[in-house]
Structure 1
Amino acid sequence: MKITKNILLTISIISVLLSCSIDENNSQNATFPQSLDYREELDLPYGNDSEQTFDIFLPADRNFNTKTLLLVHGGGWSSGDKSDMNAFRDYLRTHFPDIAIVNINYRLANENTSPHPMQMNDLTSVITHLVNNQNNYIIDDEFGFIGVSAGAHLSMLWSYAYDTNNLISMVANIVGPTNFTDEVYLNNNNPELQELLNLYGVDATTGYLQEVSPYHQVTEIAPPTILFYGGQDPLVPTSQGTAMRDKLEALNVIHEFTLYENEAHGWTGTNLLDTMNKLSTFIDTHL
């Protein structure tokens, strides 16, 4: 799919730039060395499926105030891999050396397996694992999401509809779909786009399409959200971003919105620099 190639292009350029709460008493009583070393673990399982794995990168000298950024890859809900986010991972490790990073794989959809609620359940499982193992990892139970394309959609939907314990402090949406009831989606003639939307059911009821749309699930208690879109994107039309922006504004949710008028489903050069600078400032402010 073009969506995967575009996202991989964006990620490769970035590389050049280089639900339950933990018992506070358990955290306070936990013992760990006065100075912790850097620690990373790859392909940790959080379920029985081979696709249910994540990588974790824990900074040196961390403590129970150390926040965690969750990275969610794109690929149209049916392809992609956590390795697609390695450039984001490396950028964050360089610019935010005191933040833990979790790079997530999730089960991929196909014509016989719907992405919903399967992929929501996978994000829930990862976060539950992190919270339940807080004393092992020595991290806070506050998290931020950075998602790209389909991963951005999943990040927003989980943050708005599934975060019953208010664990998410911020969510970054880079070219993510937000509203499957958008007329531009329902009445489109783009075969590639139709292939993607078929995973969520082009003939699905309005109620179901609203259930899987961050636009319809967001409330006034949503975490701060930053959005980036390309004005010439053939897969995620501008209305997906502007409508989400307007909804957040109406709900008085802290948000930022950037539209690069001449960009498509990914960009390079000065606009990419602008994206990373704005994203870094947002992380500094809200995580």
Structure 2
Amino acid sequence: MKINNLFFSLLLVVTSLFISCASDEDTIILGEETLLNVSYGTDSEQVFDLYLPANRNENTKTLILVHGGGWIEGDKQDMSYLIPIIKQNLPGYAIANINYRLASANNYAFPMQINDITTVINKLKTTNYTISNNFGFIGTSAGGHLSMLYSYAHDTTNDIKMVCSIVGPTNFTDSNYTNNPLWLATYFSLTGVNYVGNESYYESLSPYHTATTTSPPTLLLYGNADPLIPTTQGQNMHNQLNALGVYNEFNLYNGGHGNWSQPDLLDAYLKMINFINSKF
């Protein structure tokens, strides 16, 4: 009996050690990881940088940064200044800083650039990065436009939970644009489609016209002396989202196309961090 009791006691100890080891193996603590120039297509511009936080899991959310440049230029490095700000203030979030194919005479911006964003998101969802399918956008200028347009009109699986537009165009049917021959020429160079007679097409490219009652919470940051983005672009988007019952915050700073004073830039960053914390 004593031998049997001793054997049973030893068996319990060995079993508990085995279970403990198995549990330790199953609980993998992931470290911080940076993946640069991850390819998501055959074009050299179809790459993104991915910053994965330590201790991430299947609930980790991802912020997608979309650079500006008038749809024809720019690079993901233009958004790199935001990465340390996000890491310091939102350490639990993953960050995807993306490039997309730039428009040219032979490669129109639409739907090419929306297709690129779709492909990036699909890759993030299907690759084993140990993140969730919850994404938020921070886009600047043309990147702000693309972020809103994707979120409002092309997010068929409701993966986008938040979008921040920094001086992004919202409405291509705005008379401030359509009465300007230079902008109409720009429209054609980006799409190959004349505005006159195709107004509904330009509505389909406008977040103002494609927003719905289910659009995600939106942060709008604009300048009151922007030579490229009329004040109406941010103000009218704010009014439209209010009419749809979509939570949004609109902030108008003194200055031009994002070149605001240091206090205003700091205020914009703080508003962005607080918005992400509360809405995403």
TM-score, with length taken from structure 1? 0.85
Secondary structure of 1:119 counterpart: helix
Of the three residues 168, 173, 182, the one matched with 2:174 is: 182
Partners in 1 of 2:227 and 2:179 — Cα distance? 14
Partners in 1 of 2:79 and 2:26 — Cα distance? 30
1:212 and 2:202 correspond:
no
Partners in 1 of 2:157 and 2:26 — Cα distance? 26
Secondary structure of 2:80 counterpart: helix
Aligned-partner residue type, residue 235 of structure 1: L
For residues 187-213 of structure 1, the C-alpha deviation after alignment (integer angstroms, 9 at most, x for no partner) is: 126x4x556434245723101101111
Aligned partner of 1:95 in structure 2 is 89
Of the three residues 66, 71, 82, the one matched with 2:76 is: 82
Partners in 2 of 1:195 and 1:97 — Cα distance? 43
Aligned partner of 1:197 in structure 2 is 187
TM-score, with length taken from structure 2? 0.87
Partners in 2 of 1:182 and 1:40 — Cα distance? 41
Indicate the structure (1 or 2) with the bigger Cα radius of gyration: 2
- Following superposition, the deviation at residue 256 of structure 1 comes to 0.2
Partners in 1 of 2:165 and 2:193 — Cα distance? 23
Give the direction of change, closer, same or farther, for the CA distance of 1:255–1:106 in structure 2 (3 Å limit): same
- Following superposition, the deviation at residue 33 of structure 1 comes to 4.7
Aligned partner of 2:34 in structure 1 is 40
- Following superposition, the deviation at residue 233 of structure 1 comes to 0.5
Give the direction of change, closer, same or farther, for the CA distance of 1:129–1:59 in structure 2 (3 Å limit): same
Aligned partner of 1:120 in structure 2 is 114
Partners in 2 of 1:235 and 1:200 — Cα distance? 19
Partners in 2 of 1:137 and 1:157 — Cα distance? 26
Partners in 2 of 1:187 and 1:201 — Cα distance? 19
Indicate conservation of the 8 Å contact 1:186/1:202, yes or no.
no
Give the direction of change, closer, same or farther, for the CA distance of 1:202–1:258 in structure 2 (3 Å limit): farther
For residues 40-59 of structure 1, the C-alpha deviation after alignment (integer angstroms, 9 at most, x for no partner) is: 10000001111000000000
Give the direction of change, closer, same or farther, for the CA distance of 1:174–1:281 in structure 2 (3 Å limit): same
**Which structure ranks higher in relative contact order (CA pairs < 8 Å, sequence separation ≥ 6)?**
1
Give the direction of change, closer, same or farther, for the CA distance of 1:164–1:202 in structure 2 (3 Å limit): closer
- Following superposition, the deviation at residue 94 of structure 1 comes to 1.5
- Following superposition, the deviation at residue 90 of structure 1 comes to 1.8
1:221-232 to structure 2, matched below 5 A, reads: 221-232=214-225
Aligned partner of 2:10 in structure 1 is none
Partners in 1 of 2:169 and 2:205 — Cα distance? 10
Aligned partner of 1:156 in structure 2 is 148
1:244 and 2:237 correspond:
yes
For residues 124-157 of structure 1, the C-alpha deviation after alignment (integer angstroms, 9 at most, x for no partner) is: 0000011111xx2111110000000000000000
- Following superposition, the deviation at residue 93 of structure 1 comes to 1.2
Gaps of 5+ in 2: 1-24
Partners in 1 of 2:172 and 2:263 — Cα distance? 31
Aligned-partner residue type, residue 227 of structure 1: L
Partners in 2 of 1:200 and 1:270 — Cα distance? 38
Give the direction of change, closer, same or farther, for the CA distance of 1:48–1:255 in structure 2 (3 Å limit): same
Percent identity of paired positions between Structure 1 and Structure 2: 52
Question: What is the aligned length?
Answer: 252
- Following superposition, the deviation at residue 114 of structure 1 comes to 1.1
Indicate conservation of the 8 Å contact 1:76/1:196, yes or no.
no
Aligned-partner residue type, residue 197 of structure 1: Y
Aligned partner of 1:253 in structure 2 is 246
Indicate conservation of the 8 Å contact 1:224/1:286, yes or no.
yes
Aligned partner of 1:69 in structure 2 is 63
